[in-house]
Amino acid sequence: MKTYVITLSRSFLAGHPKAGEPTGFKDKFLRKEKIHTIRCNYELWKARLEEVKRGEAALSIREWTGAPYRSPQAEIRLLTAADGVSVQKLEFLGRWIVDRKQILETTEALEILAGNDGLEYKDWEAWFAKADKTKPFAIIHFTPYKYE
């Protein structure tokens, strides 16, 4: 079976106002407070999650043991179709929109999105400040939860 890796950062990355401080992502994931991650390359993740849903692949949720991209990874949990994993498209078209139907324009809606990603909204906004918002993102759900 194929395994696709999603690595959670232990600390905020360089360029973030909280660079070097712990994110707490692992603990938030284990407590089911971080119920998704948002990544670039929606089409790639859509194809991968379809494989997981068909039982042909699994998601290995991991954490860097030290510096990102320069240290080994430790697996936190392996997720399969039985966990209800899925993907939704997140786009910025002047405002954040999920699957071309739910517009996230209120502060409350954006705080929920950021919270489900394991961050406070101001930290989430800073995390994606330099991302290419002209291309769709993938919301990779670790649970059956979806934005409707």
pLDDT in tens, 33-79: 999 999 999 999 999 999 999 999 999 999 988 878 888 999 999 99
Three-point CA angle 42, 46, 49, nearest 5° = 135
Mean pLDDT of 13-37: 96
Q: What is the mean pLDDT of the chain?
A: 95
Task: Give the pLDDT band of residue 103 (cuts 50, 70, 90).
Answer: confident
Q: In this predicted model, what pLDDT tens digit does every residue of 122-140 receive, in sequence order?
A: 999 999 999 999 999 999 9
The third-level CATH classification (topology) of the domain covering 2-141 is Sulfate adenylyltransferase (3.10.400)
For the chain, state the CA radius of gyration: 15
Backbone CA torsion sign across 130, 19, 140, 4: positive
Residue 42: CB atoms within 10 A of its CB come to 19
Between the alpha carbon of residue 26 and those of residues 15, 30, 133, the distances in Å are: 21, 6, 26
The pTM for the full model equals 0.94
Residue in the block written with tokens 């392996």: 78
Q: Which residues pair with 56 in a beta bridge?
A: none
Residues 25 and 117: beta-carbon distance below 8 Å = no
Task: Give the pLDDT band of residue 104 (cuts 50, 70, 90).
Answer: confident
| CB-based contacts of 100-104 (< 8 A; 24+ apart in sequence) | 102/147, 102/148
Write the single-letter amino acid at 144: P
- Where b means 16+ CB within 10 Å and e means fewer, 116-129 reads bbbbebebbebbbe
C-alpha span between 103 and 101 (Å, rounded): 6
Per-domain boundaries in the chain:
2-141
